[in-house]
Amino acid sequence: MDAFFCWDKLNNLIGVLFISGCIAWHTFQARRGARPFIRRLPALGALDDAIGRAVEMGKPVLYIPGVADIDDAQTLASVSVLERVAEDVASYDMPLLVPNCCSVVMSMTQEVVRSAYAKAGHPEAFQSDYVRYLCDEQFGFAAGASGIMMRERPAAIFYIGNFLGEALILAENGNASGAIQVAGTATVSQLPFFVASCDYTLIGEELYAASAYLSQDPMQLGSLKGQDAVKAVIMFIIVFGTVLYSLGFTWVKDLLTP
């Protein structure tokens, strides 16, 4: 039996089963109709404010879904947020510009925006050049998107997704155009640039929380709440284990150490 199972790694197996079980249980509950509480983030309120400002000024809204392909988790979360933004913009019969860095992402975002205009009762308002492909090279894409900002002068700009070295270029050009800017990314190295240049920023996992909150997708809701439950248990174990270890009891440490 020892040749097929490493008993020293039993705690790892228990941890994986516990995490998987929490996520599966909350996903099951969400699919049954239970809607877990998710705190509304300040940046989500800024979405409506920014779109309202664009409507009042009669200017377009610019949405940039990052520079990663569709297999990136941040891009998938961005598409969920785009669906809500597109529905709000389409309901006011206003233009929504979505430049893309990847052709597959462009196809998906184009369908999302087209469906939003049709759902809002303005299918004729959608134009094919609203959603366009610019360049698959990040700085070439940044140059093209910056050009759109300078020409179209959008009143609201959303940066939601995976961004790399082009983040500061985009945010600074958007700031120079006078637009309200809302950003969201889980790329830690680019967060300081968005925080400094944008009005509101979804930091790290808040991007996925925003996606789940806006889409109300059971899979996303269950995954989010399951991970929160696991984090709460881990925090309790850390605090409880620290107290016991300080009192001379080492069994928690021994249990968690391979």
Q: What is the pTM of this model?
A: 0.80
Length of the chain: 258
Q: What is the dihedral of CA 210, 30, 110, 55, to 10 degrees?
A: -50
Our measurement of the distance from residue 137's CA atom to the centroid of its chain's CA atoms, rounded to an integer in Å, reads 22
Q: Write the DSSP symbol of residue 128.
A: G
Average pLDDT of span 79-99: 90
Compute the average pLDDT of residues 24-42: 75
More confident residue, 32 or 166: 166
pLDDT band, very low/low/confident/very high, at 3 (cuts 50, 70, 90)? low
pLDDT in tens, 131-158: 999 988 889 999 999 999 999 999 999 9
| Residues β-bridged to residue 156 | 61, 180
CATH class of 42-215: alpha beta
Structural tokens at position 230: 């696991």
Confidence of residue 64 (pLDDT cuts 50, 70, 90): very high
Q: In 3-state terms, what secondary structure has residue 68?
A: coil
* Chain segment 204-241, per-residue pLDDT in tens: 888 888 777 777 777 777 777 887 888 888 888 888 88
For the chain, give every domain's residue range.
8-35+218-256, 42-215
d(CA 140, CA 239): 49
